[in-house]
């Protein structure tokens, strides 16, 4: 966990987050390994747009990056293209805490 990879997410539909290029690659943060073959990931974006579902993770490959909470998904490990590195432990724990609140305790996540 804490690993950041370029991942071939494929062409998506509607509001789902695409990657870039011919194979739709995008950096992702691995939140949790689910099995030997699959992981729960958060796609990352370098867009400066601020939103409650975007959590800053710092600088990734020279760009400010945010995790897209609304785009969490399970991917097969075969989709991973190239390892970028690791997220700082403190930042990773904060992202996981925010993701947990977002998905499992929405009453405390969104302001009234």
Specify if 87 maps to a domain. Answer: yes
Specify if 97 maps to a domain. Answer: yes
At 15, which CATH number?
A: 2.30.30.110
Specify if 89 maps to a domain. Answer: yes
The residue ranking higher by pLDDT, 10 or 97, is 97
Measuring CA to CA, which residue among 69, 79, 91 is closest to residue 26? 79
In the structure, what pLDDT confidence band is assigned to residue 10 with cuts at 50, 70 and 90?
confident
Own/partner long-range contacts of 52-61 (Cβ < 8 Å, ≥24 apart): 52/109, 52/110, 53/102, 55/94, 55/95, 55/98, 55/99, 57/29, 57/87, 57/91, 57/95, 58/87, 58/88, 58/91, 60/4, 60/27, 60/84, 60/85, 61/27
Evaluate whether 7 touches 18 at the Cβ level (below 8 Å). no
Specify if 74 maps to a domain. Answer: yes
Specify if 35 maps to a domain. Answer: yes
Specify if 82 maps to a domain. Answer: yes
Q: Which domain holds residue 75?
A: 3-107
Specify if 112 maps to a domain. Answer: no
pTM of the model: 0.85
Give me the number of domains the chain comprises: 1
Which residues have CB under 8 Å from 100's CB, separation 6+? Answer: none
Task: Look over the chain and give the mean of its residue pLDDT values, rounded to a whole number.
Answer: 87
Specify if 90 maps to a domain. Answer: yes
pLDDT tens string 16-29: 555 665 667 899 99
């Amino acid at each position: 966990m804490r690993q950041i990879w370029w991942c071939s997410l494929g062409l998506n539909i509607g509001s789902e987050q695409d990657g870039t290029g011919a194979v739709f690659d995008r950096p992702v943060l691995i939140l949790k390994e689910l099995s030997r073959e699959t992981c729960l990931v958060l796609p990352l974006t370098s867009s400066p747009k601020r939103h409650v579902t975007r959590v800053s993770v710092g600088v990734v490959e020279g760009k400010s990056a945010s995790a897209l909470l609304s785009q969490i998904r399970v991917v097969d490990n075969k989709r991973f293209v190239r390892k970028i590195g690791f997220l700082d432990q403190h930042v990773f724990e904060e992202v996981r805490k925010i993701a947990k609140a977002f998905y499992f305790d929405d009453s405390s996540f969104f302001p009234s």
